Structure 1
Amino acid sequence: MSLELFAIIFLVGMFIIGSIFPVNIGVLGFVAAFVIGVLVSGMETKAVLGVFPADLFVLLTGITFMFSIVQKNGTIDLIASWGLKLVRGNLGLIPWVVFFLGTALAALGTSVVALASILAPLVLRLAYKFKINALMMGTLLIVGLTAGAFSPLNLFGLIVKGVLESRGLPHEPVILMVNVLLFCFVVGLIVFVVLGGIKNFKLSSKNVSDAQLRTAAAYASDEEFEEEENIFDNVKLDWYKAATLIGIGVLIYMALFLEFHMGFSAFTIGLILAFMRPSLQTEVVKAIPWPVILMVTGIVTYVGVLDAIGSIDYMTDLISGLNNSYVASLVASYTGGIISSFASTTGFLAAIIPLVTPILEDPTISSTGVVAAIAISSSIVDLSPFSTNGALLLSNCKPSEERSFFRKLLVMSGIFIVIGPLAAWLLFVVVGVPWG
């Protein structure tokens, strides 16, 4: 057995161990990076340290630090109350507001990761406040972001366009966006129905707050949310909440328009807010989900070792060796789903499309359909807790539910990995659509 294949099997084994034993998978990831990278493959320790995802660490820590302040000072409660007014108290509409808001902002060119960083804390807070299925809300957010991510203005769409044009291959950016949007809408609809979204249409915010709602006013590191009966009775705009809202707006402006790093920007704004009310800071730092950050960075470090020893190339090279274009496109779609669930979707898109050039040049198969299938397969699995967007969801769940929510995300992303590529391949490659 080759080292590249053994390292991939080792990764699968880590997931199995982490799901059975109460061990942080991030620790397994760091140990595996050392064992496979240094002891087995002979990498220098500095090289292993070099693949540590410092960017992701700063992003997750900075965002969760700032939004711990936002949660502790009641600003998210205020935003939640405004959100209810927008849908006039109909809880069944809230998940779809989340879906289409994410789609619209992503289609305008906003970074998917930046949007997930900003919206994940708000979306899960709404879910817990109104007893809406948190997994459903988080899934509709990520699927909604994916629906708009292949807009000609967004980074994903631009990567596909640039790679195809650089190789002289035809590309229909609007058709690609329509394909991804419709597929994601159907996925969102299925998730909404299966996870009980329809029953929320029978509830109003008043009914929930008076009769059913017993959720928290603030996060506690290892405890359930504190209970209160009428959560919005005393939610009012004060100077500190106003400053926090301004801080959120500044964060969006810094990250999206000035293109500053989201994590460093969040640290900066969070520090200013901390000086405004120092008494909150002990609780804020404790509320940062350190176990989640350890888990994600450990796994991503091991993935970096896989890339360094050639395991990622080993997987993608298998695709180019297939002679049947239909089979090769299916394999490429599944490869995208598997790898992107714990690695960079952006990087994979840039790598996989050149590898499937022979498929795209085959006149017997729809090149537009192949691109759509690969694009969908590689991006819809961003719900994975080992992907940045999934990690952002996990880092904003109830502290007491971190492990169970992790498992739910893992199961949901596993379903997407198994069904998503096959469904996209059948629809866009085998059957085809009239407009593509």
Structure 2
Amino acid sequence: MSIELICVIVLGLMFVIGTWRDINMGLLGFVAAAGVGGLVLGQAPEEFLAGFPVDLFLTLVGLTYLFGFAQNNGVIEVIVHWCVRLVGGRTALMPWIFFLLTAILIALGALFAVAIVAPLALSFARRERINQFMVGLLVVHGALAGAFSPISVYGIFINDYLTKNGLTPAPLTLFVAPFVFNFVFALVVYAVLHKRPGLRAEADDHLVAPRPDSPDASPEAGSGFASGETGADPEAAVHVGPATASASTEHTAKHPPVRLAPRQVPTLLGLIAMALSVLIFGWDVGLVTITISIVLTAINPTAGKAAMTKVAWPVVILICGVLTYIGVLQSAGTVEWVSAGISAIGIPLLAALLLFYLAGLVSALASSLAIIGVVIALAVPLLESGDIAVGGFVAALAIASTIVDISPFSTNGAMLLANVDPSIRDGYYRQMIAYAGLMCLIGPGLAWLIAAVPTWMGG
């Protein structure tokens, strides 16, 4: 058996074992790098660990650390309430506020934006008796729309990987194409579902929580997750009588705005400073976010310790472990070997389409970031040939591998399902499975047509 085939089999086992036994694929990647690199290739530890992405590690830790402050002390809650006030009492516009809010949060680096917004969005949908499945879909599509900004985890990961492999990234295309694609899908979902009653939870008749922008809905009380417990039970609301329920639906513009507490001001300034320093001055996002987090910790050491618990260590391990093993694959010549097989198809467009469908199907059951890293690695020689435009291919791959993230087996889908009322969770789950199946069927093909073909034809 050739070394290249052994490497591919081990890679496949990583996905199978990680999905089947719910083991972090990054941990499997480190073990695979040591096994294949050390035992098969005879490499020393410093050689098979050479692919560990130090700069990306700092970026992931810094971003999730900084947003840990914002999540714990209620700054994100205040931003949510400010956004909610923008539409006053116009209930029909609220799903789009949730869409945009999730997109903005994840675009700025809040990796688990769905976990932040979903509890508020679904409780609002229950209270206002609007289609909860439609609202949930808009939250997830919002996250996917903003996921590939130049300062998001996804965007940084892809652009840095392309740069390290000698390819020219197209950060604007990578951001805009998924945003427009998911916005169009959200429009279709809204048009089809917003007038349908959808599922009704038993708690609907009793759930009358304070309006997000009412005086009672402070960042510390009212949402159930301002303290950073994003898994808090969204049903833990106030049970009141019909008179209060009627009063709660009055035009929200009559209520005074939610104000920042003094302890929240440094965090908000830190988020603004991060966005400006990265977008305007082009400073390294990892070092910037870690520096700001250190300053915030110096101001409030207790908050710093709490924020450190919000660092997305599973995601950090996942990305770093998979990339470490990909480094071993590259040193073994496996990437070139597989790419040569793909190129042997003879039609670059067809090869790309197969890769997109592979990414979509695997991503529905495993990590989107992991499969994106693998597919880009396999496609590097194809991209270097010039037969395929880098910007179009990467944008299409981003769409194909994430459009299926409504699946309850994906991170975003699981976070959404966790906030659904237990009495309708089974029905909601079935709807999610059906929608994810539809996305697996049509998503990669549409991404190929919309983002890839026009670019290649023009090139």
In structure 1, which of residues 377, 390, 405 is the aligned counterpart of residue 396 of structure 2? 377
Match for 1:377: what amino acid?
A: A
Which residue in the other structure is 2:87 paired with? 87
Match for 2:383: what amino acid?
A: I
Q: Does 1:249 align with 2:268?
A: no
Which residue in the other structure is 2:308 paired with? 285
Q: Does 1:128 align with 2:147?
A: no
Question: What's the % identity of the aligned pairs?
Answer: 27
* CA 385–116 in structure 1, closer or farther in 2 if over 3 Å, else same: farther
**Are 1:26 and 1:297, in contact at CA under 8 Å, matched by a contact in 2?**
yes
Q: Distance in 2 between matches of 1:94 and 1:304?
A: 45
* CA 375–97 in structure 1, closer or farther in 2 if over 3 Å, else same: farther
Higher helix share: 1
Cα distance, 1:177 vs structure 2: 9.8
1:323-338 counterparts in 2 under 5 A?
Answer: 323-324=346-347, 327-331=350-354, 333-334=356-357
Q: Distance in 1 between matches of 2:434 and 2:97?
A: 25
**Are 2:142 and 2:182, in contact at CA under 8 Å, matched by a contact in 1?**
no
1:317-396 counterparts in 2 under 5 A?
Answer: 317-324=340-347, 327-331=350-354, 333-334=356-357, 341-343=371-373, 352-355=382-385, 357=387, 374-381=393-400, 383=402
Q: Distance in 2 between matches of 1:116 and 1:373?
A: 20
SS at match of 2:62: helix
**Are 2:52 and 2:323, in contact at CA under 8 Å, matched by a contact in 1?**
yes
Q: Distance in 1 between matches of 2:322 and 2:175?
A: 31
1:383-422 counterparts in 2 under 5 A?
Answer: 383=402, 419-422=442-445
**Are 1:209 and 1:229, in contact at CA under 8 Å, matched by a contact in 2?**
yes
SS at match of 2:109: helix
* CA 98–38 in structure 1, closer or farther in 2 if over 3 Å, else same: farther
Which residue in the other structure is 2:203 paired with? none
Q: Distance in 1 between matches of 2:278 and 2:181?
A: 29
* CA 124–135 in structure 1, closer or farther in 2 if over 3 Å, else same: farther
Cα distance, 1:252 vs structure 2: 0.6
Cα distance, 1:17 vs structure 2: 1.5
Cα distance, 1:297 vs structure 2: 2.3
Q: Distance in 2 between matches of 1:75 and 1:97?
A: 17
Which residue in the other structure is 2:215 paired with? none
Which residue in the other structure is 1:64 paired with? 64
* CA 75–427 in structure 1, closer or farther in 2 if over 3 Å, else same: closer
Q: Does 1:215 align with 2:217?
A: no
* CA 428–347 in structure 1, closer or farther in 2 if over 3 Å, else same: closer
Q: Does 1:143 align with 2:170?
A: no
* CA 311–381 in structure 1, closer or farther in 2 if over 3 Å, else same: farther
**Are 1:52 and 1:301, in contact at CA under 8 Å, matched by a contact in 2?**
yes
Question: CA-to-partner distance for each residue in 1:165-187, whole Å, 9 max, x for gaps?
Answer: 9xxxxxxx99x999776544434
Which residue in the other structure is 2:126 paired with? none
Q: Distance in 1 between matches of 2:432 and 2:326?
A: 19
Q: Distance in 1 between matches of 2:432 and 2:56?
A: 19
Q: Distance in 2 between matches of 1:94 and 1:210?
A: 16
Q: Distance in 2 between matches of 1:282 and 1:296?
A: 24
Q: Distance in 1 between matches of 2:320 and 2:211?
A: 41
Match for 1:355: what amino acid?
A: S
**Are 2:78 and 2:260, in contact at CA under 8 Å, matched by a contact in 1?**
yes
Unaligned runs of 5+ in 2: 124-134, 201-206, 213-221, 240-254, 363-367, 420-430
Question: CA-to-partner distance for each residue in 1:322-368, whole Å, 9 max, x for gaps?
Answer: 334653453465577679733188888875434352xx7xxxxxxxx
RMSD in angstroms over aligned alpha carbons? 5.3
Cα distance, 1:251 vs structure 2: 0.5
**Are 1:37 and 1:48, in contact at CA under 8 Å, matched by a contact in 2?**
yes
Match for 2:145: what amino acid?
A: V
SS at match of 1:87: coil
SS at match of 1:241: helix
Q: Distance in 2 between matches of 1:264 and 1:385?
A: 32
* CA 313–138 in structure 1, closer or farther in 2 if over 3 Å, else same: farther
Q: Which moved more, 1:140-149 or 1:44-53?
A: 140-149
Q: Distance in 2 between matches of 1:254 and 1:193?
A: 39
Which residue in the other structure is 2:335 paired with? 312
SS at match of 1:23: coil
TM-score, normalising length: structure 2: 0.63
**Equivalent residue pairs, number:** 383
Which residue in the other structure is 2:13 paired with? 13
Q: Distance in 2 between matches of 1:16 and 1:115?
A: 28
Q: Distance in 1 between matches of 2:347 and 2:100?
A: 38
Match for 1:378: what amino acid?
A: L
Cα distance, 1:298 vs structure 2: 2.0
Which residue in the other structure is 2:23 paired with? 23
Q: Distance in 1 between matches of 2:434 and 2:315?
A: 17
Cα distance, 1:314 vs structure 2: 2.5
**Are 1:51 and 1:301, in contact at CA under 8 Å, matched by a contact in 2?**
yes
Which residue in the other structure is 2:245 paired with? none
**Are 2:60 and 2:286, in contact at CA under 8 Å, matched by a contact in 1?**
yes
Which residue in the other structure is 1:52 paired with? 52
Cα distance, 1:431 vs structure 2: 11
Q: Does 1:186 align with 2:216?
A: no
Q: Distance in 1 between matches of 2:65 and 2:404?
A: 19
Match for 1:142: what amino acid?
A: L
Cα distance, 1:134 vs structure 2: 6.1
Which residue in the other structure is 1:294 paired with? 317
**Are 1:142 and 1:383, in contact at CA under 8 Å, matched by a contact in 2?**
yes
Question: CA-to-partner distance for each residue in 1:217-237, whole Å, 9 max, x for gaps?
Answer: 32249976895649x999531
* CA 188–308 in structure 1, closer or farther in 2 if over 3 Å, else same: farther
Which residue in the other structure is 2:423 paired with? none
TM-score, normalising length: structure 1: 0.66
In structure 2, which of residues 241, 246, 262 is the aligned counterpart of residue 239 of structure 1? 262
Match for 1:77: what amino acid?
A: E
